[in-house]
Amino acid sequence: MKKCICNIIIPLFILGFYSTSTDAASGKGELQNVSKQGYQTVSEAKFRDVFRKYLYRNLNNSGCDVVISRMKINGNVTVPEGKISFKEYQKGKRRLEGQVSLIIVIKVNDVVRSKVKLSGWVDIFQPVVCASRDLKRGEKISKDDLYLVKRNISHLSSKILTDVNKIIGFMAKHNVKKGTSLKEWMFEKYPIVDKGDIVTILAESGDLKVTAPGRILMKGYNGELVKVQNLMSKKEIYAKVVNGSIVTVDF
């Protein structure tokens, strides 16, 4: 009889222990769920999107393509539920290509909740100006001498040219090979007049015009002042270059 009672009590004890353990585990699980309620986490995909939009907004160039690689996210934590907004600040150099780092301030319902550090390597493929032929030193540049081609500017100088109009009418400071990606320092203004050139000095006031022959005493560029000798009075004056044959003075 005692044996039978023991056989009954032991299974009940085991059953009771199991039930108690199960209830405890279940209760713990409920606490974990409650602790997680009301919070959210920003996904990596969203951070990547914020990073990309920052680049496009600051590049201000719809003709470029951006490729982000080696993305790192530091400090991402859960934040309370609500409407999330972001404010981006760039760390270090202000270049938008190569290694770029951002601080992202995360707001929930306009209250700052977290700061996250983002970094990544940025390759920007953008149209750049190239030489369509071999350019010789001192040659005046025309539109036909240039063309645009999309290249990765992340490995190029920050002075790379992206607008052909910036150097049309300029001259090459040294020889440049065909296909070279052009930079601003490769060119300088082309002088309209040069030392020794004979020009007409023009002074106007209403309908009254006075002219005199003059000799240029220095290189001159369009719209700039140059020193000129009035060949009639032999006086040296400064006049504004209009073209290769006329300079003007105030009357």
Give one DSSP letter per residue of the chain, joined into a string: -HHHHHHHHHHHHHHHHHHHHHHHHHHHHHHHHHHHTTEE---HHHHHHHHHHHHHHHHT-TT-EEEEEEEEEES---EESS-EEEEEEEES---SSEEEEEEEEEEETTEEEEEEEEEEEEEEEEEEEEESS-B-TTPBP-GGGEEEEEEEGGGS-TTB---GGGTTTEEESS-B-TTPBPBGGGEEEPPSB-TT-EEEEEEEETTEEEEEEEEE-S-B-TTSEEEEEETTT--EEEEEE-SSSEEEE--
Determine the pLDDT at residue 92. 66
The CATH number given to 44-124 is: 3.10.129
Asked, colleague to colleague, whether 44-124 and 125-189 share their fold, the answer is no
pLDDT digits (tens, 9 = 90+) for 144-167: 999 999 998 887 777 889 899 999
pLDDT digits (tens, 9 = 90+) for 173-222: 999 999 999 998 999 988 999 999 999 999 988 888 999 999 999 999 88
Residue ranges per domain, the chain?
44-124, 125-189, 198-249
- The answer to whether the predicted template modeling score (pTM) of the entire model surpasses 0.75 is no
Determine the pLDDT at residue 10. 42
Q: Which CATH class is domain 125-189?
A: alpha beta
Q: Which residues of the chain have pLDDT under 70?
A: 1-37, 61-62, 92-93
Q: Which CATH class is domain 198-249?
A: mainly beta
Q: What's the whole-number average pLDDT of the chain?
A: 84
